[in-house]
Amino acid sequence: MQTEQLNGVVSKPAYSPVELNPKSSFHLFIAEQAVTGEMQSLFDGCGVDKESAVYSDASDSRLLESLAAMPLTGTLYLAGSEPFIWRVASHARQAGLRPDQIRMMVPVSRERHLFCCHCYQITEGVTYSPFICSGCGLSLEVTDHFARLHSAYFGYQANAEDSSDMPEKREVG
């Protein structure tokens, strides 16, 4: 499979510390489950129009409404798990936000969503590889190839070439 590499997979998101956008007239802070310390200090340091909200579901209708109401000069800050922030970012893009209006904090957990290329099921809470697919039950090699549309990493059967040759269990992060 197309997953062995020297320099890392460039589709794997890289995160850097988030700063307030000084040119923004409105700041919307969205967190999954709970506001993180990093987000709280950004929020506290923000003087102008601001709003914060916590959602457990990235597709919550109130969240989608607030994304649709974002002004052109607004900035969106996201905190939570990786699948959550990318799903909200995807909704934000659909609502017309530009990439430079969206700022993501380092994910709070290293748990991944894993896309099974054989049955297209997405398995949640993946922290090691190989990992059993919740759809078809195959042991999947967890790769670093990330699809923003699915907010998930690419997985394929780990021992398809030789059933007796199962890779050793390793943590992914």
Partner 1 sequence: MRVAPKEIQSFRDDFTYSNSAEAIERFPFPFAEDEYRYSVNMEPHLPKGGEGSAYEHFLDIDEHYLSEMAERELVLKEMPHRCLAMPHMDLACWDMVERIMVSLSEDYPDYFSLIRDGDHWSWENKLLNIKDQFTFGDSSSLPMPPLDYIGRQMQGDFALLDQREGDLFLDAGIITCPADWSLAFDAGMSFKEWHGPVPMAHGEGIFERALKYLIAIPVGKPVRRLNWTLTVNARMDTSPEKYHEWGHERTSVTPENVGEKVYLRVELQVLDRMPRSNAMMFSIRTYLLSLEDLVTNKEWAVRMHRAMKTLPEPLINYKGLTRFHGTVVDYLAQFDPVN
- Using CB under 8 A as the criterion, which residues of the chain lie in contact with partner 1 when the complex forms? 1-7, 9-12, 99, 115, 117-118, 120, 138, 143-150, 154, 156-157, 160-163
Min separation Cβ 148 and partner 1, Å: 7
- Nearer to partner 1 among residue 111 and residue 150 (C-beta): 150
Task: Please report how close the Cβ of residue 153 comes to partner 1 at its closest, in angstroms.
Answer: 10
Contact 89, 66 (CB under 8 A): no
Give me the DSSP letters along 23-72: T-SEEEEEEESS--HHHHHHHHT--SSEEEEEES-TT-HHHHHHHHT--T
* Closer CB to partner 1, 52 or 135, in the complex: 135
Closest C-alpha to 139, from 111, 153, 118? 118
Minimal distance in Å, beta carbon 166 to partner 1? 13
Measured from the CB atom, is 6 or 171 closer to partner 1?
Answer: 6
Contact 118, 130 (CB under 8 A): no
